[in-house]
Amino acid sequence: MKIALLQMDIQERNKDENVKHGLELLAQAAVGQDVVVMPEIWTTGYSLGHIEQDAETMEGPVIAAIKTIARENKCNIVAGSMPMKIEGKIYNTSVVIDRNGDILDYYSKFHLFGLFHEERFFAPGKHLATYQLDGIECSNTICYDLRFPEMFRHLALAGAKMIFIPAEWPTPRGDVWKLLVQARAIENHIFICAVNCTGFFKGEPFYGNSMIVSPTGKIIVEGDEKEAILYGDIDLEDIKRVRNRINVLNDVREEFTK
């Protein structure tokens, strides 16, 4: 499976430019790929002062443009996350669009990041599930969710073989980012596709270093701190090979998963 990670430089307080630039990069990244993954809240960054007017909808022009790119390139798109208005509330939501340009699934961020006061702007998500992407069981989490291993174990036990993580992870905690992404892959024997952004928020840089990690923790592709489209090719049979040797999920004690 060919996967492109769109590590985008997100501009503060410049939604129009972010949308324009993000869609241009997406159209470039989608050529010849099976999946493209975008970063967290790439339309606005954490400039959320006008979130009511900046929030997207499932029927809006940004989602429509992403659907068109998916359909024209026959490419699945994990559209990072965006502020999305759903049933009267605003969520930090990741939308998945299939090769036909149809919405396959969406996930709204469960764990809201207190340091950035996300709870002032977003309602917490309440729908956590897996979905079939080209016949592969997948799921999404978003950024801060990475710090909650029980969430990933729940998804792995539900059958997820690959988890996508759009993020805006800052440089001062960059070492934590790498360790946690690898740990979540290793402890569940799954692939992790983690897409961070570059750029700044209130003068603090974002870390970049988007990566695809194998079920053994091997980094298949990794970026640096600059904007880039990263390309990786994964062999899903790696999951079977790892689990045939050590199948951690078979040995989970149920009393610790409730």
Whole-angstrom Cα distance, residue 69 to residue 40?
Answer: 19
Residue 109 falls in the annotated catalytic set = yes
Tokens 């006008």 found at: 50
61: helix, strand or coil: helix
Q: What's the CATH number where 207 sits?
A: 3.60.110.10
The pLDDT of residue 86 = 97
End-to-end CA distance of the chain: 34
The pLDDT of residue 254 = 79
How would you class 126 by CB atoms within 10 Å of its CB: exposed for 0-12, middle for 13-18, buried for 19 or more? Answer: exposed
Q: How many domains does the chain have?
A: 1
The pLDDT of residue 256 = 76
Predicted structure pTM score: 0.97
Single out the catalytic residue among 75, 143, 193, 197.
143
Helices (H) and strands (E) in the chain, counts: 6, 16
Note down the domain range covering 235.
Answer: 2-256
Amino acid identity at 52: E
Single out the catalytic residue among 15, 67, 109, 161.
109
Tokens 């996300």 found at: 118
Q: φ, ψ for residue 146 (rounded to 5)?
A: -60, -25
Residue 40 falls in the annotated catalytic set = yes
Q: What is the mean pLDDT of each run of 10 residues along the chain (258 residues)?
A: 98 95 99 99 92 96 99 99 98 99 99 92 95 98 98 98 98 97 98 97 94 99 98 97 95 81
The pLDDT of residue 258 = 66
The secondary structure element, H or E, covering residue 183 is: helix 174-188
